[in-house]
Amino acid sequence: MRSQDAETTSDSVRKRPASETPPPDKPPPPRPWRTEGLPQGQAPKPKPPWQRVGVWLLAYLVLFGALQVQDRLSGPQVVAYTEFQRQVTAKNVTEVFARGDSIEGQLKKPAPLPSDKPGTYRQFTTERPTFAKDDLLAELAASGATVRATPVVQQRGFLMNLLVSLAPILLLVAFWTWMFRRQQSALGGGLLGKRQNRVDPDTVRVTFEDVAGIDEVEAEINEIVDFLKSPDKYRRLGARAPKGVLLAGAPGTGKTLLARATAGEAQVPFFSASASEFIEMIVGVGASRVRELFAEARKVAPAIIFIDEIDTIGRSRGGARSVGGHDEREQTLNQILTEMDGFSGSEGVVVLAATNRPDVLDPALLRPGRFDRQIMVHPPDHKGRVEILKVHARKVPLASDVDLEALASATPGMTGADLANLVNEAALLAARRQHDAVHQSELFDSLEKVQLGTARNVVIPEAERRRTAYHEAGHALLGMIQPGADPVRKVSIVPRGRALGVTLSTPESDRYGYDANYLRGRIIGALGGMAAEQEVFNVVTTGSESDLETVSRIARSMVGRWGMSERVGRRSVLPSDGEPRMAGVSDGLLDMVDEEVRKITDDCYAEARRLLRENRAKLDAIVAALLARESLDEAEIYASVGIARPAARPSAGLVPAAASTAS
């Protein structure tokens, strides 16, 4: 496996044959999940919105034109006023109504059209000239015609009258539909969303070749892949695939990328969604989306459903960690449990989920039959980091002096996401320096920026600069002369972030466990800055704030969590999460823990001052070199005091880089 971060999806793009044309751009899917690798023929492409608007507009124009034609055919006939006078004289007018000089009416018997056109008319309309002097009302009354000022019923066609009467209702329905669709769109697609767009597998698929640094997980995942590829081999023996696989681990370790690689390796459709996308204000929307997602996956089975950050909806529904009730979250969780229980085992749908907090998940999710397997995805070791760096450096031109092994040794504890960011920062730095390739200097300068922060251009008084130099020299010297301490990699009095100076120490190889001597050495090294200031200047400054936080954290863990105090004994007093008194710890025992923490820190501080007094000449030598060059790398630090660089030591595990700062 060769990659560790979901940000490297561009590395996973497979080369398209030259004979194929690139797929046209498709609009994003309206549903809250993403799909990959759906088989051909699924999810036809929806019509663009402008086409639907055009169809409705054309239909309206056709209907309006038809109504106009119908009104013209069935409406009153326009006649001349002289023709109207002849019909009045012939006493053939049965009723008229007028608005100003406009006269409309109806004949008793149909009369032939006054023009050459064949046919007759009965309803008519005409205009009375303003210069007419006839007594029209008397003539109409004498003929027995009914005269009105306005019509009793508006003389429209049947279809027009029907449309006018239904228009308010149609407008209300149209407005309600528009508001409902806008609301559902704002809620992330809603229940009226169309089918998700088919994603071209050749442009999005990743495989295990794009994943590196977590080889121990490959064997677990390969069984899922093998079942999806050839399920009959397992069914013959009565075996069934796990219904769910939970990927747990720290952020950036590649859980999402691993899930995508599993689907890509098995060449099956991949549905991915974040758990938070199922939760909405309207109760029941989340459960409906879950049902729809699982139904879509069954249609194209075998398939993989991936739910990221499942702890958003999968938190325990009771207990101390439960923070009140939430009907929508619980309904969504219940629907997921029901859907996973509904799998028969032969449907070929596997659910993958990722979380950073497996300890808060509901027990119903973790029982066999739901998430049968839990796979821990750890940060990579030295070998894994080398492989990850190779993957991220595929498209980055590297100079001949680049040593990825050395870079991997200097990055213990970094995840795949951290390493991807490191390589990208190095490429950006090389571009700013107008280089054609990335050199080793850019990689380590970027490592300093990632671990220590960006350098600041500030003017520091000489006295403050000298005191900062002694502070950092105290950290560095104690790190060099203490047995078992981590080698010092970098010392700088260049302000970075909120610190005025930085001392960086990292282990020679990965660490997975710590003994009391190593932890005491860490405390002594962290107190070296304060001890140097007090030995040389007899002052205590605020520059030791972050150092004291590190010291307190280590000492309290030694006493209250790791059983490294004879007085407190072999017991866990300080839980990693929560108030210790809630776990039954007495105030007396907590006071004892505080006394032991103070005893450890006081003893380590006294030892730090003693070592600095005995090695004052070496301390002054480091300060002189720092004031002259501001930053010293590993070789320069050891050369300035005449101490041989310690040989590589075997290690017991993984520990993040330790940086002491003077703020």
Domain ranges within the chain, ordered by starting residue? 6-13+27-45+195-377, 49-69+159-186, 76-154, 382-412+424-452, 462-662
Query: Can you give 396-423 as a three-state secondary structure string?
Result: CCECCCCCHHHHHHCCCCCCHHHHHHHH
Q: Is residue 52's pLDDT more than 80?
A: no
Give me the architecture of the 382-412+424-452 domain, per CATH.
Orthogonal Bundle (1.10)
8-state DSSP, 566: T
Confidence tier at 157 by pLDDT (50, 70, 90): low
pLDDT at 152: 43
Distance CA 292, CA 277 (A): 13
pLDDT at 531: 93
Burial class, 138, CB count within 10 angstroms (exposed 0-12 / middle 13-18 / buried 19+)? exposed
pLDDT at 71: 57
Match domain 76-154 to its CATH number in 2.40.50.140, 3.30.720.210, 3.20.20.60, 3.50.50.100: 3.30.720.210
- How much is the average pLDDT of 78-89? 82
pLDDT at 549: 92
Query: Which of the given ranges, 38-42, 55-59, 120-124, 279-283, has the highest pLDDT on average?
Result: 120-124
pLDDT at 78: 80
Cβ-contact 556, 574 below 8 angstroms:
yes
Query: 25 vs 22, 44, 273, 298, 652, CA distance in Å?
Result: 9, 14, 22, 27, 51
Cβ-contact 415, 380 below 8 angstroms:
yes
Distance CA 451, CA 447 (A): 6
Distance CA 527, CA 625 (A): 21
Q: Is residue 32's pLDDT more than 50?
A: yes
Confidence tier at 613 by pLDDT (50, 70, 90): very high
Instruction: Give me the percent of the chain exceeding a pLDDT of 90.
Output: 13
Q: What is 9-37 written as a DSSP string?
A: GGGGPPPPPTTSPPPPP-PPPSSSSEEE-
pLDDT at 224: 79
Among 13-27, 43-57, 629-643, where is mean pLDDT lowest?
13-27
pLDDT at 511: 74
Structure tokens at 571: 């017991």
- How much is the average pLDDT of 423-443? 91
Q: Which residue has the higher pLDDT, 293 or 622?
A: 622
Nearest to 1 by CA among 225, 244, 199, 304: 225
pLDDT at 596: 92
Residue 102's beta-bridge partner residues? 99, 127
Quick check: is 472 catalytic? Answer: yes
Q: Is residue 358's pLDDT more than 80?
A: yes
| Close Cβ partners of 422 (under 8 Å, ≥ 6 residues apart) | 407, 411, 414, 443, 446, 447, 450
pTM for this entry: 0.63
Asked if residue 302 has a cis previous peptide bond (ω within 30° of 0), the answer is yes
Q: Which residue has the higher pLDDT, 432 or 360?
A: 432
- How much is the average pLDDT of 254-270? 78
Match domain 6-13+27-45+195-377 to its CATH number in 3.40.50.300, 3.40.50.10190, 3.30.2270.10, 3.30.420.40: 3.40.50.300
Q: What is the largest CA-CA distance in the chain?
A: 139
Q: Write out pLDDT tens, residues 158-197.
A: 666 666 677 778 778 888 887 777 766 655 444 434 333 3
- Any alpha helices (H) in 92-135, and if so which ranges? none
Q: Is residue 259's pLDDT more than 90?
A: no
Q: Write out pLDDT tens, residues 97-126.
A: 887 778 888 888 888 877 767 778 788 888
- How much is the average pLDDT of 29-39? 57
Query: 438 vs 7, 8, 394, CA distance in Å?
Result: 20, 19, 12
Q: Write out pLDDT tens, residues 586-600.
A: 888 889 999 999 999
Three-class SS of residue 651? coil
Distance CA 53, CA 61 (A): 12
Share the mean pLDDT of the chain: 76
Instruction: Give the H or E element holding residue 314.
Output: helix 311-314
Instruction: Give the H or E element holding residue 246.
Output: strand 244-249
Distance CA 553, CA 653 (A): 20
Nearest to 543 by CA among 393, 385, 661: 661
Distance CA 276, CA 272 (A): 12
pLDDT at 10: 37
Q: Is residue 221's pLDDT more than 60?
A: yes
Q: Which residue has the higher pLDDT, 60 or 226?
A: 226
Q: Is residue 622's pLDDT more than 80?
A: yes
Quick one: fold of 462-662? Methane Monooxygenase Hydroxylase; Chain G, domain 1 (1.20.58)
Q: Whats the size of the chain, residue-wise?
A: 663
Q: Is residue 652's pLDDT more than 50?
A: no
Residue 444's beta-bridge partner residues? none
Confidence tier at 44 by pLDDT (50, 70, 90): very low
Among 182-196, 272-286, 328-342, 527-541, where is mean pLDDT lowest?
182-196
| Active-site residue, selected from the candidate residues 472, 533, 596, 607 | 472
- How much is the average pLDDT of 194-206? 46
- Any alpha helices (H) in 230-273, and if so which ranges? 231-235, 255-266
Strands 488-492 and 349-355 come out as unpaired
Chain mean position to CA 159: 54
pLDDT at 201: 44
